[in-house]
């Protein structure tokens, strides 16, 4: 039994059919990347796992428990945390207040010291308002808000989007460290090279269909797939 199992889900926006029988699995302690061009269904997959969209039909299981049909806050309480591409930090309160707010309903929250050890920059900026943070700092805070809830699975949606290369490098190293500590991660990322440095396995999506499951090495060994579906 995998920690996260997605079984033949179909998702819609209104009457528009977006995902077609998408299946994937993520083992505990594994990093899996969802890759594909814009509009391929990557974010829709994340939103469906979180319960923001309801699959019809299809089933999603977390730790053996069916979770589709649950509200997003119930999915989060079970240990699945989404870091959206919009980051969604509260910009009118401080970094530390953002963290405390995220930890408020967590069963076993991380300490602030542990968060600041993971993201030293946030410790330096803990009394700064969210709106005063750079894009990279906001992304650190968005990930930290998920970690402080002791997430069993992190869903990272485009964590490196729009960031300077030096910030991407730092976030990549932090994410690698989290993975090495056994954190389970499902990542959507347009930066294919960065994603391949992190992932144990990949799924390639195209127009709402899974067209390939492969290790990074297997994917890199198929340049025609890389070019056709990922534009690399």
Domains of the chain are 4-79+152-230 (3.40.50.300), 89-147 (no CATH)
Among residues 32, 26, 103, 23, the alpha carbon closest in space to that of 55 is found at 23
Instruction: Give which of 125, 151, 154 is closest to 137, Cα–Cα.
Output: 125
Q: What's the rounded mean pLDDT across residues 107-120? A: 94
Q: Provide mean pLDDT across the span 90-101.
A: 96
Residue partners of 162: CB distance under 8 A and separation at least 6: 135
With CA atoms as reference, report the closest residue to 86 among 172, 158, 11, 165: 158
Averaged confidence pLDDT in the chain: 94
**What is the structure's pLDDT at 182?**
87
For residue 231, what pLDDT is reported?
82
> What local confidence, expressed as pLDDT, does residue 161 receive?
87
Structural tokens at position 83: 């870091």
DSSP letter string over 108-133? Answer: SPPPHHHHHHH-HHHHHTTTSBGGGS
Instruction: State mean pLDDT over 145-164.
Output: 92
Which range scores top for mean pLDDT: 4-13, 104-113, 176-185? 4-13
Give every CB contact of residue 24 below 8 A, 6+ residues apart in sequence.
6, 32, 34, 45, 203, 210, 213
The values of phi and psi at residue 26, to 5°, are: -130, 125
Question: From CA 162, how far away is CA 175, in angstroms rounded?
Answer: 17
Query: pLDDT at residue 1 above 90?
Result: no
- pLDDT tens-place string over residues 30-53: 999 999 999 999 999 999 999 999
The predicted model gives 90-94 an average pLDDT of 96
How confident is the model over 72-91, as a mean pLDDT?
93
pLDDT at 87 over 90: no
Q: Which of 56-60, 112-116, 191-195 has the lowest mean pLDDT?
A: 191-195
Is the pLDDT at 232 greater than 80, yes or no?
no
Cα gap 159→184, rounded to integer Å: 15
Task: Choose the weakest-confidence range: 134-138, 171-175, 196-200.
Answer: 171-175
């Amino acid at each position: 039994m995998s920690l996260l199992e997605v079984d033949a889900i179909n998702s819609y926006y209104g009457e528009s059919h977006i995902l077609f029988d998408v299946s994937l699995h993520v083992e505990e302690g594994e990093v899996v990347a969802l890759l594909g061009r814009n509009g391929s269904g990557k974010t829709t997959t994340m939103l469906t796992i979180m319960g923001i969209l309801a699959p019809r039909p299809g089933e999603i299981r977390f730790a053996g428990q069916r979770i589709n049909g649950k509200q997003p806050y119930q999915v989060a309480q079970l240990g699945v945390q989404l870091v959206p591409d919009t980051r969604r930090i509260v910009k009118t309160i401080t970094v530390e207040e953002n963290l405390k707010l995220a930890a408020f309903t967590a069963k076993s929250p991380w300490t602030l010291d542990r968060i600041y050890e993971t993201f030293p920059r946030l410790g330096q900026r803990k009394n700064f308002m969210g709106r005063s943070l750079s894009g990279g700092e906001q992304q650190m805070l968005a990930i930290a808000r998920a970690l402080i809830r002791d997430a069993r699975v992190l869903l990272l949606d485009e964590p490196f989007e729009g960031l300077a290369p030096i910030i991407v490098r730092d976030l990549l190293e932090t994410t690698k460290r989290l993975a090495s500590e056994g954190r389970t991660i499902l990542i959507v990322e347009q930066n294919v090279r960065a994603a391949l440095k992190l992932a144990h396995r990949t799924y390639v999506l195209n127009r709402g269909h899974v067209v390939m499951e492969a290790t990074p090495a297997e994917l890199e060994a198929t340049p025609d797939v890389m070019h056709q579906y990922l534009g690399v």
